[in-house]
Amino acid sequence: MVLLISAIAFFVLITGLILIHECGHFFAARKLGVTVEEFGFGLPPRFLKLFRSGGTQFSLNWIPFGGFVRLKGENAEGGERREPGSFSHAGIPARCVILVAGVAMNFLLAILIFIFGFSYGQWIPTYLSLPAMEQAAADGEIHLRLGVVIEDVLMGGTAIEAKIPVGSILLKVNDIAVMHPEDVVRIQRGKTRVSYTYLAKGDAEPQTVRVSVQDGKTGVYLRSTPLDLSAPKRDLLHAVKLSLRETAVVTDQTVLGIVKLFSSLAQHGAVPQGVTGIVGIAQLTYTSVQKGFMVYLRLVALLSLSLAVLNILPFPALDGGRLLFVLSELFVRPGSRRFEIVTNTVGFAVLLLVIILVTFYDILRLFS
């Protein structure tokens, strides 16, 4: 049953985000006098004509993912391209608005979800460092209790002789609570033996052992980790502020991830860790469904932002690439339509190749 629900959630996620994006183009074009010839649910070939409204043919297509909007004259050449109601007949500002409207819809969706999550769901914002998280706790933005995790026990150290398991939470040293590795270093300084009170994975009660200290060290690699992390109730204004901050942080990290992806592909021909494609998204959807609706909803917001950032990149075949062609008309006369079509076709082929590579690495990680 969970697998079925996850499959449905994945379908709704991908298709919903694309349709919302296309709705942005659709409503902007309608508002600015550009004829929308077709609004397709799913991708061609066409399965069924549903109905016609306001000069737009709504259709159902065989490939049941996403959708598309076809504007008048969008793929035409010559005089037909400039006919009244066509995309190219509209002014440069109107075409720019139409092109960015899809991205704007994805940004708006993410912001609204974040507002709901930070108010009703009491979500934890994204923090890029532990000091930033501690500062947020000091400001009352979150409730935070830190602890020290024993990340590794080194061979030849005294901690391995005391049989302290890796992954344990170090609660106290000499009955003094510790929250940072620096606390442990400070307490051990000048000592020959100390007591460690730790909580091993799966244990209900902490244990205490005596550990020898050599030159202030016991042979453990320590890292601070949140033991308790929660958020207070927030009013709408605070939720809006956090939503805008979260959107900025995630957008910045998405751009860095895209730069890292193309840099890694150019230098090593490999997809870096942390970059995922359709298979990885399916895995994330399955995990989020298991954890609950609010976790799934946050995934929707994150992917909506990713879709927006990807589409606004100044790359052929994307909205950002098409936007460059429109803006170029401010400085030079419109060039050959065929050049634009060829450029977008090559750009689409490159994007398709990248998607295939990312998917290939997704599958490798799935079975590794």
- If you count DSSP H runs as helices and E runs as strands, how many of each does the chain have, helices first? 10, 8
- Amino acid at residue number 4: L
Q: What is the pLDDT of residues 155-213, one digit of tens each?
A: 888 888 888 888 899 999 999 999 899 999 999 988 889 999 988 887 888 889 898 88
Q: Is the same domain home to 117 and 7? A: yes
Q: Tell which of 169, 199, 230 closes a domain.
A: 230
What is the spatial distance between Cα 162 and Cα 116, in angstroms, rounded to a whole number?
A: 49
Q: Tell which of 230, 258, 289 closes a domain.
A: 230
Q: Is the same domain home to 225 and 298? A: no
Asked if the structure places residue 16 within a domain, the reply is: yes
Determine contact, residues 179/172, Cβ cutoff 8 Å: no
Tally of domains in the chain: 2
Q: Is the same domain home to 115 and 244? A: yes
The domain containing residue 104 runs over which residues?
A: 2-35+72-123+240-367
Q: Is the same domain home to 265 and 220? A: no
What is the spatial distance between Cα 252 and Cα 2, in angstroms, rounded to a whole number?
A: 33
Q: Specify the DSSP element, H or E, that contains 151.
A: strand 143-153
Partners of 211 in beta bridges: 194
Q: Which residues contact 91 (CB under 8 A, 6 or more apart)?
A: none
Q: What is the pLDDT of residues 35-92, one digit of tens each?
A: 999 999 988 889 899 999 988 999 999 988 889 999 987 766 655 667 788 888 888 9
Q: What is the pLDDT of residues 234-245, one digit of tens each?
A: 999 999 999 999
What is the spatial distance between Cα 59 and Cα 65, in angstroms, rounded to a whole number?
A: 13
Query: Burial of 330 by CB count in 10 Å (0-12 exposed, 13-18 middle, 19+ buried)?
Result: exposed
Task: For the chain, give the percent of residues with pLDDT over 90.
Answer: 34
Q: Is the same domain home to 216 and 248? A: no
| pLDDT at 264 > cutoff 90 | no
**What pLDDT, on the 0 to 100 scale, is given for residue 219?**
86
Asked if the structure places residue 324 within a domain, the reply is: yes
Q: Tell which of 211, 230, 249 closes a domain.
A: 230
Determine contact, residues 331/299, Cβ cutoff 8 Å: no
Asked if the structure places residue 61 within a domain, the reply is: no
Q: Which residues contact 23 (CB under 8 A, 6 or more apart)?
A: 102, 105
Q: What is the pLDDT of residues 112-132, one digit of tens each?
A: 999 999 999 899 999 988 889
**Nearest-CA neighbor of 259 among 309, 317, 327?**
309
Determine contact, residues 22/43, Cβ cutoff 8 Å: no
For 210-256, give the DSSP string. Answer: EEE-BTTB-SEEEEEEEEEEE-----HHHHHHHHHHHHHHHHHHHHH
Q: Beta strand pairing status for 220-230 and 143-153?
A: antiparallel
Which tokens belong to 16?
Answer: 């919903």
